[in-house]
Amino acid sequence: MPVELAARVARDVADAFGDVLELRRFPLGLCHYVYDVTLADGTSLVVRVASPENAPLLAGAVAWHEVLSSIGVPLPAVLEAGLGPDSGELAYLVLERLPGTDLGEVYADLGAPQRRNIARSVAEIERVVGKLPLGRGFGYARSPAGPFPHREWAEVIRENLARSRSRMERSGPSLRHDRVEILLEESATYLDCVQPIAFLDDLTTKNVLIHEGVLSGVVDVDHVCFGDPLLTPALTRVSLAAGGHDLDYIDEWLAHVGVDGHQRRAFDLYTAVFVLDLLSEADQQFNQDQPVVVSVARANRLGQLFESLVP
């Protein structure tokens, strides 16, 4: 979908709320087209625009916003939703603009006590979400009613591995994937015991908003994942390591929830899976103007993390 079309839809939608002073696309995100909007009266909004194939994700966001807000998850209010055939060319959401910036943008400027406090806040959000009823299956559900795409938790992990393997196939067979497959088989007993617990899988270095050193809210909940909540800190670990950041945030998160030896080994497995996932994004364009570039330094840091985890 041309970015010009998404920007036009975002501006047209925002015009209904007042004169648009500035419309700026957020640089992060590989699925939707998300715009930071400032109106002439100083009001700030966020407009999310989806391509036709991703419109169901925005419908999921509306459903989950209602559920998650009701249990205390600090989400922005949904101000307007255009999801049906009469909503224009593209599906969209207009949301309240919470104060703050993605955690990854300010992480290096935070002190260790601030990072630990934020980690505890995110872990507490996940604890609250985990009290929702167990899923009737595993994986990413676009609504509380499902569907739940997998019967086993291991299938979710294998699907991620298959995706990254497919992306990287053009450069030759991946010995790294083979090594993770072995680790996955060794973790089979643990994975078979995982219950379909609800958690927010994308509260990583993005979607966690930080204002004046504290968490102000979370965003982008198009779906809720059901399975092992350790998946989210594992992805966050990879993102932080790729940027060369201190990992005390992750240490605090794990300490807050408490993990035993079996969980720690699964956490390392998930980390290895996400290392391959991030490496596989190289040269993928997604919804960006240019393909993703994975720098040599970033690739080396990810490679070192992988080698520390997988025999």
Which residues contact residue 235 at a Cβ distance below 8 angstroms, ignoring those fewer than 6 apart?
Answer: 201, 202, 204, 270, 274
Q: How far apart are CA 273 and CA 55, in angstroms?
A: 28
Percent of the chain at pLDDT > 70 equals 90
* Cα 126 to Cα 147: distance, rounded to the nearest angstrom: 21
Per-residue pLDDT band for 304 (boundaries 50, 70, 90) equals: very high
pTM (predicted TM-score):
0.89
Domain at 101-309: CATH code = 3.90.1200.10
pLDDT at residue 105 above 60? Answer: yes
Please tell me the predicted confidence (pLDDT) of residue 32: 77
Cα–Cα distance for residue pair 81/91, rounded to 1 Å: 8
- Is residue 285's pLDDT more than 60? no
The domain locations on the chain are 3-96, 101-309
Distance CA 130, CA 230 (A): 12
**For range 199-221, the mean pLDDT:** 96
| C-alpha atoms less than 13 angstroms from C-alpha of 24 in its C-beta half-sphere | 9
Q: Check residue 184 and give its pLDDT.
A: 95
Reported residue count of the chain is 311
248-263 in b/e burial notation, b at 16+ Cβ within 10 A?
A: ebbebbbebbebeeeb
Please state the rounded mean pLDDT for residues 218-244: 96
For domain 3-96, give the CATH number. 3.30.200.20
